[in-house]
Chains A and B, each alone.
Chain A
Amino acid sequence: MLEMNKDNTQPLEYSTEQGRMNILGFWIFIGAEIMLFGTLFASYFTLEGRTGAGPTGAEIFEISPVLAETLLLLTSSFTIGLGVHAMRLGRQKAMMTFFIITLVLGAAFLSFEVYEFIHYVHEGAGIQTSAFTSILLTTLGTHGAHVTFGLFWGIMIMIQVIKRGLTPETANKSFIFSLYWHFLDVVWIFIFSFVYLKGMM
């Protein structure tokens, strides 16, 4: 069968037909995710100024935790890139190290985000306060839920790489996970620019 043939001219994650289909399928899934976040952003821009009796963005946004979150997530995107590079060189230990760094940075990002949410609620900007706070916390929360899911997913994939070594299957899974992680970074850049920076201006 065609799909069983291994193509050794390709990197491990692309070496089987099923692996190539998984990667294409995941790219299409990312297309759907872009629509998902696109809809959230469109709704955010619509509801941004509709603060009711609640606070505006400028009143509640704080620059320092946001900068910290940005720095952490951007760095994690870089380290997972290094992880995939190590994987292509067949250096499993280095790859695992970079994956661990990535996930630790992701966890740190999340703890800042939790702090940020608590801060908003203390400022009187809960999810029920106004249309603006509803969409703000939903957009941030959807991204945060993706990162949380990614943390668990990443750990499960690392366990498989450690148990089974670098096979076409585990390499494929790791690579797809890295696409997901990069994508979350891209979304964050939009959140940073169009939610926080625009809101603080």
Chain B
Amino acid sequence: MDFFERFMIPHPSPAIYAAMVAIVLTSIAIVVGLTYFKKWGYLWREWITTVDHKKIGIMYLISALLMLFRGGVDALMMRAQTAVPENALLDAQHYNEIFTTHGIVMIIFMAMAFIIALMNFVIPLQIGARDVAFPRLNAVSFWLYFMGAMLFNLSFVIGGSPSSGWTSYFPLAGDELSPSVGTNYYMLALQISGLGTLITGINFIVTILKMRAPGMTLMKMPMFTWSGLITNVIIVFAFPVLTVALAMGTMDRLFATNFFTTTDGGMDMLWANLFWVWGHPEVYILILPAFGIYSEVISTFSRRNLYGYNSMVASMVIISLLSFVVWVHHFFTMGQGAMVNSIFSITTMAIAIPTGIKIFNWLLTMWKGKIQFTVPMLYSLGFIPIFTIGGVTGVMLGMSAADYQYHNTMFLVAHFHLVIIPGVVFAMIAGLTYWWPKMFGFMLNERIGRWAFGFIAGGTCLAFFPMFISGLDGQARRMYTYSESTGFGFWNMLSFIGALGLAVGFILIVYNIYYSTRYASRDIGDDPWNARSLEWATHNPVPEYNFAITPQVNSSQAFWDSKKNGHTLFKGGYKEIHMPNNSGVPFVMSVFFFIFGFAFVFSMWITAVVSLIGIFACMLHRSFEKDHGHHISVAEIERTESELRGARNE
């Protein structure tokens, strides 16, 4: 039995036992359901082995939504715990675990997955490509991310969750102060999914640089594709830093090395620096694609060209460069001295300039436009003021002398939630609603969507504005409770009500998906929003090969030009199309990665070595296999095209 004791939860509670039961029951339900409906073969052929960027995008999307609810429940529990003074809903250890997993799940497994979902689905379509440059690697990326996410979530029921904050600062995260395996999970799960993200980065840079439709020069790319290119460049240069930091952290915990220890020369601040050298660019990895989505949505629903295209691109390039030279602002109070702090203060505040340029460009795009208040546009309009408030409080935090007052208070929590929710989450929902018809062939209900927007925008403001006040009053973040005499109770209760509002909003989105799946019209044509870029020039649903004929492009709004200015997108007839084959190897290899990670978490070295051999065997298999893909014949293209056109005319 000694062997099994390591898998026990160190701080069990009824909630965790309930979760265990729920996980087991859900797993049984899924297995029984798949068997009963005979869907195993379908699942394997159409999804698990797929290399189609559209399906991979949808799998990312489903995973991101699941993680959104996992992270959202964490958030609700936190707000519920702090809603009234001296609450005993959660104890200190559970509260620590919940704010840790909330941060990681939301940033790494929800937001990252959501942007990669939209990039996967949209970018190849926007540039008129058949797939990404390395379709097989794309599947590897997804499955590594998925296995990383599963590994991380497993910590909740096997061995205990990490509890040293999403930043995992050492020495707190060292094995002396965090003896449970929770932080091992953190190190390994992030490592595995981070590898997947790095591969995505390489894949999309090559895709965007090499696979654009004829005529689409770099400065004629749609803005979302531009944001994707810059984001992926940041990914490639930021993620290796995390890789090294996590490897060092793992070694400190498992092999007793001395990187971040407080003895034998170790330096805990090295972790803080390495973490944020990755962590700050990570913020821009999330926000730049969001900016890209807003550019598409605002331009489409203002019926105007995007204002200041060149300055949009330039400001994104400047932001990407500055994102690497501001990391110290996350720990101004941790002993760098005035000179270093001042330099990083200046670089931090400088980021407000290119960001401001973008805000004005969006406003000027809407200027004199015929604005349509669709759901994606509502999120974009809500984003501008709320994000600006979040942004200017960021400039306040960026002044290092003043930061001593704000650091580690709820003021900071209010700031970064008010940039990341309107910045990223609003954009994700806007993008989801906007591209939903392209993904699934019907539109989401506008009326329910507007209600959801109201609850989410209102809930965001109500949940986070009070934190500015309680934070300035001195409420520290990450405190699991407070006394009544502090007077924080009122503000925290407001936050809790706001959090409930957000929850209602997200439930409405789920209801909207259910409702629209059942009742929405499938007869919406290929271009229901009257949009401007290439993804709308192909059919709904998008055929496997995306475009029967590769489009010819002459501006950044090629599709708009073809509708209004008589530009011919598709010249010539059908030709045979070459497509990549499906493969189960990415999935199998990622399962080995999962086993490897799990074995490492619990120091089961034999299993770790065996699974490592499995990983190399998969790579070897890939190297030696002869796979030249398959060809879609002209006859088959004609059949598909006439069916799709027929479906539209009915």
B209 and A24 within 8 A (CB) = yes
B244, B251, B256, B267 interface centre (most CB from chain A within 10 Å): B244
In the assembled complex, the CB of B642 is this many whole angstroms from the nearest CB of chain A, namely 21
- Chain B residues contacting A50 (CB-CB under 8 Å) are 265-267
A52 at the binding interface (Cβ < 8 Å): yes
B265 and A47 within 8 A (CB) = yes
The residues in A between 142 and 166 inclusive whose CB is less than 8 angstroms from any CB of B are 152, 156-157, 160
- Chain A residues contacting B576 (CB-CB under 8 Å) are 1
Binds B, one of A83-91, A97-105, A131-139, A192-200: A131-139
B257 and A32 within 8 A (CB) = no
Nearest chain-B residue to A53 (Cβ)?
B264
B274 at the binding interface (Cβ < 8 Å): yes
Binds B, one of A58-66, A70-78, A108-116, A122-130: A122-130
The size of the chain B interface, using a CB distance under 8 A, is: 46
- Chain A residues contacting B39 (CB-CB under 8 Å) are none
Nearest chain-B residue to A137 (Cβ)?
B257
- Chain B residues contacting A28 (CB-CB under 8 Å) are 201-202, 205-206, 236
A156 and B620 within 8 A (CB) = yes
As a 0/1 sequence over residues 151 to 195 of chain A, the CB contacts with chain B under 8 angstroms (1 = contact) are 010001100100000000000010000000000000000000000
- Chain A residues contacting B202 (CB-CB under 8 Å) are 25, 28-29, 32
In the assembled complex, the CB of A128 is this many whole angstroms from the nearest CB of chain B, namely 5
- Chain B residues contacting A135 (CB-CB under 8 Å) are 259
A134 and B267 within 8 A (CB) = no
- Chain A residues contacting B264 (CB-CB under 8 Å) are 52-54, 129-131
- With A1-B575, A4-B578, A43-B259: A21-B134 Cβ-Cβ less than 8 Å: yes
Q: How far is the CA of A57 from the CA of B244 in the complex (A)?
A: 22
Q: How far is the CA of A138 from the CA of B266 in the complex (A)?
A: 14
- Chain A residues contacting B134 (CB-CB under 8 Å) are 21, 25
Q: How far is the CA of A31 from the CA of B267 in the complex (A)?
A: 27
Nearest chain-B residue to A18 (Cβ)?
B133
- Chain A residues contacting B490 (CB-CB under 8 Å) are none
Nearest chain-B residue to A152 (Cβ)?
B616
A131 and B623 within 8 A (CB) = no
Residue in contact with A131 in the complex, picked from B236, B239, B259, B274, CB distance below 8 Å: B259
A138 and B267 within 8 A (CB) = no
- Chain B residues contacting A40 (CB-CB under 8 Å) are 244
The residues in B between 171 and 220 inclusive whose CB is less than 8 angstroms from any CB of A are 198, 201-203, 205-206, 209-211
A35 at the binding interface (Cβ < 8 Å): yes
- With A24-B206, A25-B203: A32-B198 Cβ-Cβ less than 8 Å: yes
In the assembled complex, the CB of A8 is this many whole angstroms from the nearest CB of chain B, namely 19
The size of the chain A interface, using a CB distance under 8 A, is: 41
B584 at the binding interface (Cβ < 8 Å): no
B485 at the binding interface (Cβ < 8 Å): no
- With A28-B202, A32-B240, A33-B240: A43-B270 Cβ-Cβ less than 8 Å: yes
- Chain B residues contacting A46 (CB-CB under 8 Å) are 267, 270
As a 0/1 sequence over residues 110 to 150 of chain B, the CB contacts with chain A under 8 angstroms (1 = contact) are 00000000000000000000000110000000000000000
Residue in contact with B237 in the complex, picked from A32, A51, A133, CB distance below 8 Å: A32
A43 and B274 within 8 A (CB) = yes
- With A31-B236, A36-B240, A134-B251: A160-B623 Cβ-Cβ less than 8 Å: yes
B258 at the binding interface (Cβ < 8 Å): yes
B210 and A51 within 8 A (CB) = no
B265 and A36 within 8 A (CB) = no
B255 at the binding interface (Cβ < 8 Å): yes
B259 and A134 within 8 A (CB) = yes
A25 and B133 within 8 A (CB) = yes
Residue in contact with B241 in the complex, picked from A33, A39, A152, CB distance below 8 Å: A39
In the assembled complex, the CB of B175 is this many whole angstroms from the nearest CB of chain A, namely 13
A20 at the binding interface (Cβ < 8 Å): yes
Residue in contact with B257 in the complex, picked from A24, A25, A36, A127, CB distance below 8 Å: A127
Nearest 5 Cβ contacts at the A-B interface: A50-B265, A131-B265, A52-B264, A35-B240, A36-B240
Q: Which residues of A contact B (CB under 8 A)?
A: 1-4, 17, 20-21, 24-25, 28-29, 31-33, 35-36, 39-40, 43, 46-47, 50-54, 127-135, 138, 152, 156-157, 160, 173
> 4 extra interchain contacts, Cβ-Cβ under 8 A, other than A25-B134, A50-B266?
A25-B202, A25-B205, A47-B267, A134-B266
A-B contact pairs, 28 of them (CB 8 A): A21-B134, A21-B206, A25-B134, A25-B202, A28-B205, A28-B236, A31-B237, A32-B240, A33-B240, A35-B237, A36-B240, A36-B243, A39-B274, A43-B259, A43-B270, A43-B274, A47-B270, A127-B251, A128-B255, A128-B258, A131-B259, A131-B265, A131-B267, A134-B248, A134-B251, A134-B257, A138-B247, A160-B624
